Amino acid sequence: MIIPFATTNFRNSSRVFGIKTADRRNHMYVVGKTGTGKTTLLRNMMISDIMAGNGVAVVDPHGEFAESILDYVPENRIDDVVYFNPADLDFPIAFNAVEKVEANERHLVSSGLISIFKKIWADSWGPRLEYVLRNAILALLEQPDSTLLGVMRILSDKEYRKKVVNNLTDPVVKQFWIEEFGKYSSKFEVEAVAPIQNKVGQFLTNPMIRNIVGQVKSSMRMRDIMDSKKILIMNLSKGRIGEDSSALMGAMLITKIQQAAMSRIDIAEEDGREDFYLYVDEFQNFATESFAGILSEARKYHLDLILAHQYITQLDETVRDAVLGNAGTLITFRIGADDAEFFEKEFAPEIMALDLVNLPNRKIYLKLMIDGVTSKAFSADTMPPIPKPAQSFKEEIIKRCRERYGTHRTDVEGGISTWSMPVEVSRGSYPPAPGGVTDQRFDFPREATPVPNGTFGRASKPEKPLFDAVCSSCGNPTKVPFEPDPKRKVYCKDCLPGIVKAKHEMATYKASAVQAVRAEALRPRKGPDLSGLREALNKSLEIAQANNSKNALKKELQEQNMKMEDITKF
């Protein structure tokens, strides 16, 4: 099959040409200034793929490309569309990046997630942050029914952390949590955890994103989408979900597609692996270090990439070398002088830098892969936009995708709230850890988290009796699934979410206060100037008083050995 995308313009001879399926497996790379016609080229090719019945996916950080594709989906392919739009707040589609990952793929998944976070916060990234975060992700990958929300919880909830660690089978990861993290002093633990809570928390505390990545069971099955030749449209509009959230979601989705493609190793190539075409517009937003591996490995699994962006310096050196070293077809629209000098080496001797700088819109220079061999550079005109069909099924597609892949917001938030409840609200026992790994365990009563209700499933075990209790916060009677202990506080379902939230806020402000004390003590000054410190401490005191944690904060600050007059006020 040949997908047309341009016409020749040599000596006024206009002939439509395209690229064969086998040659597309070597990937296509498109570069050019904004407004020169890159997105139109990608849109025309994707529409041709849809009409031909091919499996396709598009990652669009602007949204217009993704939305326009919906107008071109024919009636016979309406049910093939999976429209992923995080801005649809009422029916979030579940995407769990750590769901049911095989043991031999866990380090690949953790490395992919680490590279995503590292790309977004490269300026403030550090080795200790990466070390702790990597072990947190590896621990969650072994925990059944875990999500990315567990990253924050495993660092702040001791009972949940004990539960996860007791189920670990990886001896290295288990040793980290028991022998290293478990023995951190409170001061060192705050310093190790606070940067992760600050950075990852920016992503996970966004309700829009949390309702997507916080669902246990993904409603999008990437392997099924690829093998069934479906149409996956990912609308990651920066203007609607934020630039960082767009980049993080896009990079995670691309990594998941890579994992699905590599899992096709169970299908022999001669038995017919279906080609799947992945279009990524402005792909520098999602080009992590692991992206280089996708370019190198995707061809053999029939994952064919079409990548577009504006200028070469948007890519770091590793990704740039991987793109130019693996892309079989290279297309350039008008580019800047610096890029022209760079690409002149690729197009010489037929095309010079001056030619690349002076191209009109919709005009291209390219080196086309033909039967496995790259052609000499030549010029061409891209085809005009394909006219919209008379009838659009856009609204019907969105409706069906909501019904098939989305979950109502109320059910999602209810499930996440239940999952976030403290471990001690339900008692049970852990299954024994697999033998032959390690017999180190925490000496604490084994407990289990409650199984979420509603659309998230119900435990198959018989329900335990409920006991009468009085809420320690509001004083109202309530029911709890364990026998109340007079020495322990009990909260009703109305007060518990607020208590949990306040606890998390307290931890955050405690860390801020400690950092403020240390910074003020180390700052050189001629005379006492404690205004900034007082502001931080007073804010921490307000939070402490609101949550009845005044003594805990005082103890935390005094552990810093800072002899300052402001601490005495506590």
pLDDT (tens, 9 = 90+) of the chain, 570 residues, equals 899 999 998 877 889 999 999 999 999 999 999 999 999 999 999 999 999 999 999 999 999 999 999 999 999 999 999 999 999 999 999 999 888 888 888 888 888 889 888 888 877 788 888 999 999 999 999 988 899 999 999 998 889 999 999 999 999 999 999 989 888 877 788 888 888 888 888 888 888 999 999 999 999 999 999 999 999 999 999 999 988 889 999 989 998 898 888 888 888 776 678 899 999 999 888 888 777 777 888 888 899 999 999 999 888 888 888 888 889 999 999 999 999 999 998 898 889 999 999 999 999 999 999 999 999 999 999 999 999 999 999 999 999 999 999 999 999 989 888 887 776 544 333 344 444 444 444 443 333 344 444 443 334 445 567 778 888 888 888 887 777 777 778 788 788 777 777 776 666 666 666 565 555 555 555 555 555 555 656 665 565 555 555 455 555 555 544 444 444 443
* Cβ-based neighbours of 161, under 8 Å, separated by 6 or more: 153, 154, 155, 177
The residues spanned by each domain of the chain are: 2-95+219-404, 103-207, 496-561
What distance in Å separates the CA atoms of residue 153 and residue 133, rounded to the nearest whole number?
A: 12
C-alpha to C-alpha distance for 547 and 566, rounded to whole angstroms:
21
What pLDDT is recorded for position 542?
A: 62
Distances (CA, A) of 112 to 107, 117, 126, 258, 534: 8, 9, 17, 10, 42
**Token pair of 212, please?**
């997507």
Hey, what amino acid is at 396? E
pLDDT of residue 237: 93
Q: Roughly what angle, to the nearest 10 degrees, separates helices 149-156 and 186-204?
A: 160
Interatomic CA distance for residues 155 and 148, integer angstroms: 12
pLDDT at 557: 52
CATH class of the domain comprising 2-95+219-404: alpha beta
Q: Residue 261's CB: how many other CB atoms inside 10 A? A: 24
Q: Given phi > 0 = left and psi -120 to 50 = alpha, else beta, which region is 495? A: alpha
pTM score, two decimals? 0.72
Closest-CA residue to 197 (of 149, 242, 247, 246): 149
Judge contact between 367 and 377, C-beta under 8 A.
yes
Q: Tell me which H or E stretch contains 389.
A: none
Omega into 349 within 30° of 0, i.e. cis?
Answer: yes
pLDDT at residue 537, as a whole number: 60
For the chain, how far is it from start to end, CA to CA, in angstroms? 76
β-strands 231-235, 81-84: how paired?
A: parallel
55 near 205, Cβ under 8 Å?
Answer: no
| DSSP state letters, 122-185 | GGG--HHHHHHHHHHHHHHHHSTT--THHHHHHHH-HHHHHHHHHT---HHHHHIIIIIGGG--
Q: Identify the bridge partners of residue 31 per DSSP, sorted by sequence position.
A: 309, 332
